[in-house]
Structure 1
Amino acid sequence: MNENKPVNKHNPNIATILSILFAGLGQLYNKRYLKGTSFIIVEIAFIITSLDFINLGLWGIRTLGTIPGEDHSIYLLVYGIVSILLLLIVGTLYVFNVKDARKQAIKIKNGWKAPRFSESIKEGYDKAFPYLMTGPGLALLIFTVVFPLLFAIALAFTNYNLYNSPPRNLVEWVGFENFQKLFTVNLWKDTFLSVFSWTIVWTIVATSFQIILGLFLAVLVNDKRVKFKKTIRTILILPWAVPGFVSILIFAAMFNDQFGAINRDIIIPLFGGEGLPWLTDPFYTRIVLILIQTWLGYPFIFALFSGVLSSISNEWYEAADVDGATRWQKFRHITLPHILFATAPLLIIQYTTNFNNFNIIYLFNEGGPAIQGQNAGGTDILISWVYKLTFDMQEYSMAAAISLIIGLIVSVFAIFQFRRTSSFKEEGNM
């Protein structure tokens, strides 16, 4: 007598539909009661505690308020961004709930049997452990990094400024108007082009100088003929030991037009006159800033390159000597490629850091001197201009728009350079 094998009628489609209707129902259908109950509790708690807040947030980010003096547009914008983040987090969990229910239903249909309660708890703990450890950090990252970034991006598309501040006035969405002002309105256009061009010059020249100086000194000190290497390295690295802001303030005093040591004790005794306008002429101020940044930045580069040079095998240089290579050829084909291969990411970071190097620009002369017809100083870079727009002029939306441009420039530059450099290739393919 032949007995037919019993047919498993467990339907994955039913589990999928139930999990879509309400989180956890699909798991209950699969007889995964603990997991299903957990999903149900989470969804009910979310609906009870957050539904009203999310409704307010979505209305607020869409309208930014309708009654001046009563609705606070910035608060509503914050509520809206938080609501969107909460919806994204809950939506991700909901998608996971649906996929999990369908996946387990398919396994059950194919003959899989759920483990016992104690085994399922142990299995669930093992699988969830990485998420339990990274979950708090991820949540902190979302609300300390992603949220401020989204808030700044949103402000760039509003008209939030000193004369249009809530709660007395309502902030409105203005689209790309702030970006258009940067390229069409004379005051903003002239200032933006001037500040942007100086920012590029400052980034390239100051960073390149400190890299060149650090490389030159590292190669020089690493030469076999140089004695007292430890003493020389200690002396050369001393500028790095002094806090940067202290050095900047000292240099600001030394280059003061009226009482600074550079004019009073060097320029005037040697050349006469009243000295050079270090703080009142943008040309001289920019030169000083580049020199100071070179002084402050080269010790790190020097230490970095010194470590790389000490790891290069002498056999390579001996082989080059046998082939009759000159000092320049050895530097070009052995030393420099190894240095760039090992330090390219850090050198890129030096450029991106100086692009946003607020400290030296502001501490030395607060971005001055003033320039007629512009609302930025003669040595302001984009980040220091953003600071002034935010705290001095209360042009919050314009500051946010420029910050967005800064972020895009730095991101594009970093991605392009990382793709072009060989720092992420295999050493054998160098």
Structure 2
Amino acid sequence: MSTYSEGKKKGHNPTLAMILSILLAGLGQLYNRRFIKGIIFIILEVSFILTLGNFINYGLWGIRTLGTIPMVDHSIFLIIYGLVSIIILAFAITIYIYNVIDARKQAFKIQRGEKIPNIREAIRNTWDKGFPYIFVTPGLIMLLFIVVLPILFTVTLAFTNYNLYNSPPRKLLNWVGFDNFHKLVTIDVWKDTFFHVFAWTIVWTVVATTLQIALGLFLALLVNDPRIKFKRLIRTVLILPWAVPAFVTILIFAAMFNDKFGSINRDILSMFHLSIPWLQDPFWTKVALIMIQTWLGFPFVFALFTGVLQSISKDWYEAADVDGGSRWQKFKFITMPHIFYATAPLLIMQYAGNFNNFNIIYLFNQGGPAVRGQNGAGGTDILISWVYNLTFNINQYNMAAAVSIILGIIVCLFAFFQFRRTRSFKEEGNI
């Protein structure tokens, strides 16, 4: 290698390469004599500006102002355009940052006199090192527009005044900050409804889920007892409720619990001269819902616990017998730790699922019966079914979005806290 080449490499300036890349993507690569990569970056930036520049500018203006002329500007469309613009802009900024970092790293390599790979070697290295990212990127893009975009749209609606009496295009929306959340805890009609529904949601989640887990555990322990015969037949019968679609079971139970012609009152309770208003009294409706959910949920828990119980070594129970351990001690120190160690994440998901269990609440009695003084919520509505009523029945879209955010935060915090405390999701070497 000549002295001229060595001096040229020593004088190569990484800061200049970085500045050139900031001024225009690809200039730093051209300075580093990575001509093909530099041309690709330049084409990407120019194409991005020419094709999406106006759209992004319009989207950012729209999400900032929500429109200026009623019947011409549509605030909802402007919000969507703005969110799409932000996502696209985030992608562009990510690529731009990569362009700057790449130019700086390559400049340092040239300054140190390292060999710069040719085109074929660069493509091979990119494929070897970036293989996971190449295949993950399309799915990530779909995830952003199919999942993240609707969530962001819901979040933005919670900070607007979008409702039946203020809806585009007849009227423009305005940003109202945290006013919707303030209404939920200060204005009586909203406050009473919110805390009533929230309290029942907690009770419903804890009681219904705990009962289905307890029943599934009890039946699994019972069937797993060595003294029980015809285990396969019993397990098949107990899992049958799981085989029937849940919405079919709920509709059948809704007919059975009917106050007038349902078989519960007409054929069973009538023998004791009783008639319970299952669909008219909120208390009895809640009792019926909890019983139905216990019936729907225990087969899965039973199957789950049965598999775990069969995986526990019998040697441990024999060792406990030798040490004089009682049946309760074996259950407490052998059976329970193994069951909950293996199934804790799935049991947590049972609680989270029932917290948002819209199907049974709506299909059984549409959240009823009606309760005086509640804004859009019946006697058995939980948060998710109340959001449905706010959206489709009384068109309070902003309040529905606000409740949805609260609902999502609660579920995320609960799940995050429980998953962090369970050992099931930790790395094997860190247990």
TM-score band, normalised by the shorter chain?
Answer: over 0.9
Classify 1:428/1:390 alpha carbon distance in 2 versus 1 (closer, same or farther; 3 Å): same
Question: Residue 243 of structure 2: which of 241, 254, 258 is its match?
Answer: 241
Aligned length: 426
CA distance in 2, matches of 1:341, 1:51: 53
1:321 counterpart = 2:321: yes
Deviations 1:18-37 (A, max 9, x none): 10001111111111112111
Displacement of 1:147: 0.8
1:366 paired residue number: 366
Classify 1:5/1:150 alpha carbon distance in 2 versus 1 (closer, same or farther; 3 Å): closer
1:189 counterpart = 2:191: yes
CA distance in 1, matches of 2:152, 2:328: 50
Displacement of 1:261: 0.5
Letter of the 2:406 counterpart:
I
1:388 counterpart = 2:364: no
CA distance in 1, matches of 2:178, 2:398: 11
1:202 counterpart = 2:204: yes
**Preserved CA contact (<8 Å) 2:6 2:113:** no
Displacement of 1:124: 2.8
CA distance in 1, matches of 2:122, 2:315: 60
Deviations 1:304-331 (A, max 9, x none): 0000000000000001001111101100
Displacement of 1:10: 1.2
Question: Residue 140 of structure 2: which of 134, 138, 141 is its match?
Answer: 138
Give the aligned CA root-mean-square deviation in angstroms: 1.5
Deviations 1:123-174 (A, max 9, x none): 2333333222111101001111111111111000000011111000011100
CA distance in 1, matches of 2:427, 2:308: 18
Q: Partner of 1:209: helix, strand, or coil? A: helix
Classify 1:48/1:244 alpha carbon distance in 2 versus 1 (closer, same or farther; 3 Å): same
Deviations 1:231-273 (A, max 9, x none): 000011110010000000000000001110111111123225x
Letter of the 2:315 counterpart:
E
Displacement of 1:427: 7.1
2:261 paired residue number: 259
CA distance in 2, matches of 1:87, 1:116: 31
Displacement of 1:76: 0.6
Displacement of 1:415: 1.0
Q: Partner of 1:415: helix, strand, or coil? A: helix
CA distance in 2, matches of 1:98, 1:28: 12
1:147 counterpart = 2:152: no
Unaligned regions of 5+ residues in structure 2, if any? none
Deviations 1:364-395 (A, max 9, x none): 00000000010200000000000011111111
Displacement of 1:4: 9.8
CA distance in 2, matches of 1:320, 1:154: 59
Letter of the 1:353 counterpart:
G
Displacement of 1:88: 0.9
TM-score computed with the length of structure 1 as normaliser: 0.97
Question: Residue 168 of structure 1: which of 170, 187, 190 is its match?
Answer: 170
Q: Partner of 1:137: helix, strand, or coil? A: helix
Unaligned regions of 5+ residues in structure 1, if any? none
2:112 paired residue number: 110
**Preserved CA contact (<8 Å) 2:371 2:379:** yes
Question: Residue 232 of structure 1: which of 231, 234, 237 is its match?
Answer: 234
1:51 counterpart = 2:53: yes
1:12 counterpart = 2:14: yes
